[in-house]
Structure 1
Amino acid sequence: MEVYDPEIDFPEAWKLLQPFMLSNETLISIRNSMSRELQNGLLRDMHARSSIPCLLSYVQNLPTGHERGRFLALEMWPTNCRIMLVKFSSERDVYMSSKCVIVPHTVAASRGTTLFNFLAHNIAIFVRDKKVEKDNLPMGIAFAFELNKLALDVGILVRWTKGYGAQGAVGKNIVKLLQNALDEYKDIRINLNSVVNISAGTLMALSWSYPNCKIGLIVGTSTNAAYVEQTDACQMFEGNTKQPLMIINTEWRNFGANGHLDFIRNEFDKLVDAVSSEPGMKFYEKCISTLYLGELVRLIVVRLMKMGVIFKGASMDYFDIQWKMEMKSIMAIESDPPNVYTSAQLVMEKFRIRNCSERDLATLRFICHIVSLRSAQLVAAGVACLINRMNYPNISIAVDGGVYRLFPTYQIHLNKYTLMLTNPHNKFKYVISEDSPGVGAAIVAGIASKVKVIESID
């Protein structure tokens, strides 16, 4: 088995990938830029100009772990929804039953009322089935689309992602839209009282069993993070400042809009941006999320094939198809043991390229390694910026999204670079979030109904 030195053995690929290789100084510089943008996002006079808007979640109470009872949740994702009944009966015991609902394209693309009527219909079936339709259980929504939060139960829909038409809902409070649809069912009583975004839901779900959880991190087809801020620092907040904490939804995917990533964005990043559904936006996300990493790898391989230095003589018919390279292929290529290329060869066979030389497969693996390493480094810069800002001696970070769960080398890189970029006295641990964001939304709903009861007594 030959051990390859990329600089010597595949110099063309090495040269092409130089711009992807970030020095520690570069990462420190990015972390510091993120810290400044984050601070600006919290300030009233700088908020509109910041590429990290730091949106208020209006969630000011973290779970104690002593929450008990039954709560409902609706998780809304771009492709499906999940209705959940969550029961907390002891410190360690979370019982959850759920029903996944695929939203038909005809519903997603129709009017907003049609979509929310569809959801209400399925919620009605679910609560009757669970025999809780009369119980007026608190219900929260975990929402994967962009919202402008104005209160815990007011989330104005900013925009849908691809596949959703439902135009009548844009600019409206989605809690109210769902409540209106539920009101049609006279036999049902539900206390719909809150909406949170997915990263805040992830944070809340884990903090029930890990009280020191202070960050909810999403790394998947998109990226985002929520963290715990001091209410005093949130200048955009005009509510009850007696509560010391506020979960902030960073919406950091657009970091780079103010030019802070221009010095690392290379020709391949620019090509991916140009063919994406939102050119000129979400530069940070486009260097990180699974949606774009495969395309970056594909473009680099295509360039090397056209240069005649890799997979010589092979047909490019399949490799030339945009977005054809998926993240699962990159994970498979990197999952082979050192100097073994079995999975890499299987991936290439999907592209109708057979009997590859070991050197070509080693080159392919090197490309995947460098592109995914940069993703982990950039996420680490963001997470370190949050850890350093909060300055807790010890925190857990809830991670959701397939990359961290299914990609061991990514875990190693993310931990290594977060450690390098974090103040040494701030200890941290990444924890895979086993409970979905819907569990977090259920907790928020439970806390919200309790807070309301206390306020009414006051």
Structure 2
Amino acid sequence: KHKKLPLGFTFSFPVRHEDLDKGILLNWTKGFKASGAEGNNVVGLLRDAIKRRGDFEMDVVAMVNDTVATMISCYYEDRSCEVGMIVGTGCNACYMEEMRKVELVEGEEGRMCVNTEWGAFGDNGELEDFRLEYDRVIDETSLNPGHQLYEKLIGGKYMGELVRLVLLKLVNENLLFNGDASELLKTRGAFETRFVSQIE
């Protein structure tokens, strides 16, 4: 109770880092939604929640994205590691870059980790020629339409629903199950991503 524990906080959502232990949540992704967090310092929110509990003390010394945490953990074992990548519920990558090549920061000396937030690639129309009808349905029925479009193409959060939509179209075109779709197949979210792995 009286010992203050240091905490490294992995936060898997887009933030604007203002300091090592301060990050403003830009928006929720991967189907998450919680009121009162967007636009706020998530480390501050965590500290407040810990303080309200009152049964332990914790010092948040750093907040990093999960891709950065992945790269750091690999770097601990192999000093040549330059890239971190997450392909799971969502999708993102980070890499090491010369600071002189990063336009958003001041300074020319040294290197820094760049969190690409590439799950948002396509949010400005770059993927329009590649998105299929299924991708559009997934986006339109998501909690954040028009955002995280690349992530919705390949992220585990959306893969099961993508397969369900394809199967349903095949049934509707009488190419599968003799054209007879079960009520479950017609139900959004009923075909889980884990089923894709189990079938394969």
TM-score by length of 2: 0.85
Shift, 1:329, TM fit: 1.2
Q: Offset at 1:290?
A: 1.5
Q: How does 1:40-439 map to 2 (within 5 A)?
A: 128=1, 133-134=2-3, 136-160=4-28, 162=31, 164-167=33-36, 169-180=37-48, 182=50, 190-238=58-106, 241-242=108-109, 244-312=110-178, 314-334=180-200
Q: For residues 53 and 165 of structure 2, what CA distance do their matches in structure 1 show? A: 52
CA deviation map 1:256-310 (0-9, x unaligned): 1233222221222222222222222222111111222222221121112122221
In structure 1, the gaps of 5 or more residues are 1-127, 335-458
Residues paired across the two proteins, number:
199
Deviations 1:88-129 (A, max 9, x none): xxxxxxxxxxxxxxxxxxxxxxxxxxxxxxxxxxxxxxxx4x
Deviation at 1:332, TM superposition (A): 1.6
More helix by share: 1
Which of structures 1 and 2 has the bigger CA Rg? 1
Aligned to 1:14: none
Query: 1:157 is aligned with what amino acid?
Result: L
Q: Check 1:232–1:296 CA distance in 2 against 1; reply closer, same or farther (3 A cut).
A: same
Instruction: Go from structure 1 to structure 2 and tell me whether the alpha carbon gap of 1:194 and 1:263 turns closer, same or farther (over 3 Å shift).
Output: same
User: For 1:55-75, what per-residue CA distance to the aligned partner results, in whole angstroms no more than 9, with x for missing partners?
Assistant: xxxxxxxxxxxxxxxxxxxxx
- Matched position secondary structure for 1:279: coil
Give the match's secondary structure for 2:114: strand
For 1:187-246, what per-residue CA distance to the aligned partner results, in whole angstroms no more than 9, with x for missing partners?
Answer: 9664432111111111111211121221111111111111111111122123x654x111
SS at match of 2:171: helix
RMSD value, Cα: 2.6
- TM-score normalised to structure 1 length: 0.40
Q: Output the CA distance in 2 between the equivalents of 1:188 and 1:299.
A: 47
Q: Higher relative CO (CA 8 A, sep ≥ 6), structure 1 or 2? A: 1
Q: CA–CA distance in 2 between the matches of 1:314 and 1:186? A: 57
- 1:448 maps to what in 2? none
Assess if the C-alpha contact under 8 Å between 2:173 and 2:179 holds in 1: no
